[in-house]
Every structure is written in structure tokens, then in C-alpha cells.
Amino acid sequence: MLNEVCDHYPDEMIDLRPYMWEYPYTVTIHDTVQKCLDIFLNNQLRHLFVVNPVDGMCVGVITRKDLFAYVDI
């Protein structure tokens, strides 16, 4: 479906690749909350991708706001 929308509205597409990191910070589904917190604090991130260590697929995103609310910072 996404490909159909993109094909139908080619002038509405924006290339975000110049604004994205090729190798973003990630954590696995087995990492601790403390490790996630350390990565956020040390790298001043706003989002952190959660990946499955078996296939490397993204299974979620942790936001700084959600994590800080969880650990009560």
C-alpha cells in the first residue's frame, strides 16, 4: 500500500536520508533499562531503536520521554 501511495504522489516525497544516521544507536530486546538510560544520557538521544538480536529487525522504539518517566528522572 505504501508503494502505491508513493507512486501516486511522487512530488510529495521528501528525501530524509541526509538527516538520518546510517548506523543508529540500538539496544536489543534483552538489554537492561540501565543500559538504555546510559545510552540516552551519554549520547543525548531522543529515540532508541529496539532490535531483535536474532535477525536484526526493529521491534520497537524507546523514547527519551517514556524512559525518563519510567525511571522517574
Nearest to 64 by CA among 49, 16, 51, 31: 49
Q: What is the pTM of this model?
A: 0.69
Rounded CA gap, 64 and 62, in Å?
7
Which tens digits make up the pLDDT trace of 53-66?
999 999 999 999 99
pLDDT (tens digit per residue) in 38-48: 999 999 999 99
Q: Which domains does the chain have, with CATH numbers?
A: 22-73 (3.10.580.10)
pLDDT-derived band at 15 (thresholds 50, 70, 90) equals confident
Instruction: Say whether pLDDT at 25 is over 80.
Output: yes
Return d(Cα 60, Cα 48) in angstroms, integer: 9
d(CA 20, CA 15): 10
